[in-house]
Amino acid sequence: MLSVLAAMTPAASRRITQAGDLLGLLGAIFLVLGAFPFLKKVGLLAGGLCLVGAFLLIGIGIHWGVSPYVPKK
């Protein structure tokens, strides 16, 4: 697993971060839907799970990712 993350390209890092952004947006939409009484449990649970997944994907993309702005040595 770590060898796959170590070989990440800038494009893969960007795609993982963008997937995390989209998952976070989906989680926010679910949380808004959870404000309605008939969708409260499902919306809050799905929104929370989506936000946890988003934070994990963004963390992986940033921590093990490759920034195109860092000069090569």
- pLDDT score at 71: 61
Closest CA to 31 of 15, 43, 18: 43
> How many degrees, rounded to 5, is the angle at CA 53 between CA 59 and CA 56?
15
User: 13-38: per-residue pLDDT in tens?
Assistant: 888 989 999 999 999 999 999 999 98
Q: How much is the pTM?
A: 0.79
- pLDDT score at 63: 82
Domain count, the chain: 1
10 occurs within a structural domain: no
Average pLDDT over residues 61-70: 72
Give the CA dihedral 12, 16, 22, 26, nearest 10 degrees: 150
pLDDT > 60? residue 1 = no
72 occurs within a structural domain: no
Domain of residue 34: give its range. 20-65
- pLDDT score at 65: 76
35 occurs within a structural domain: yes
